Structure 1
Amino acid sequence: MSFTDPIGDMLTRIRNAQMRRRTSVSTPASTLRGRVLDVLKSEGFIRGYTETRNENGSGEFEIELKYSENVPVIRTIERVSRPGRRVYASAKNIPSVANGLGVSVLSTPKGVMADHEARSQNVGGEVLCRVF
């Protein structure tokens, strides 16, 4: 199965699973998806994730979703930069999300990181998604 937007697919799976109040959701594994999940975990939006291997050798991430009093911790998760329209931000123009309550996930030359970390390292990059 070929995806044109693997990050968008993962975000949609998370969004749909939270609407159905699922405790976990699975998505195909890739390095970029793993880095985005690392940022979501470090920022406290998901409990964690584990990688498993299928019989055919392909990997899969099992993402544990996080709830607070039966309300999803992730209120909004949206894709910013898409294959049809890439969005980049310089170190000085990284957008803040919900006055600092949310996080923008950026793909920078120093790796995938949250917006506040990119600002502190004075590095810009592609804005992958926005979470709050």
Structure 2
Amino acid sequence: MLITDPIADMLTRIRNALTAKHEDVLVPASMVKKAIAEILLDEGYIKSYDIREDGVAKYIHIDLKYGPNKQRVITGLKRISKPGLRIYARKDQLPKVLNGLGIAIISTSRGIMTDREARKQGVGGEVLAYIW
């Protein structure tokens, strides 16, 4: 199966699993998706993730995190830069999601990082997604 936007597919799988109150979700693996999963883990949006192999295919197994009474920790995910319309931001134009309550995931020349980390390092890049 050919996926035209793998990052949007990952975000949609996570969103659907959260809506259905699943404990975990499997996402086809890539280096970019692994970096996004690492950011979600560091920011406290997911419990854990690991790479699993199923023959030739590799998957990222993400353990989702919920608050008390099964409330979602991730309330929203939005893909910003898409294959048909790339969105870039200079270092002084990096977005703040919900006035700093959420994160923007930025692809920079120094790797994939949050908007806060990009501001610290003084780099801009492609705005991949917003998470809040």
TM-score norm. by structure 1 comes to 0.98
- In 1, Cα distance between the equivalents of 2:50 and 2:11? 17
> How far is 1:2 from its partner?
1.3
- In 2, Cα distance between the equivalents of 1:81 and 1:125? 11
**CA displacement, residues 28-51 of structure 1 (integer Å, 9 cap, x when unaligned):** 000010011111111111111110
Which AA in structure 1 matches 2:51? Answer: E
- In 2, Cα distance between the equivalents of 1:25 and 1:45? 14
- In 2, Cα distance between the equivalents of 1:120 and 1:19? 34
Q: Residue 86 of structure 2 aligns to a residue in which SS?
A: coil
Gaps of 5+ in 2: none
Correspondences of 1:11-30 after superposition (within 5 Å): 11-30=11-30
> Aligned residue for 1:62?
61
- Equivalenced residues, count: 131
**Alignment identity in percent?**
44
Which AA in structure 2 matches 1:106? Answer: I
Q: Residue 32 of structure 2 aligns to a residue in which SS?
A: helix
Q: Residue 83 of structure 2 aligns to a residue in which SS?
A: coil
Q: Residue 67 of structure 1 aligns to a residue in which SS?
A: coil
Over the aligned positions, Cα root-mean-square deviation in angstroms equals 0.6
- In 2, Cα distance between the equivalents of 1:33 and 1:2? 16
TM-score norm. by structure 2 comes to 0.98
> How far is 1:83 from its partner?
0.5
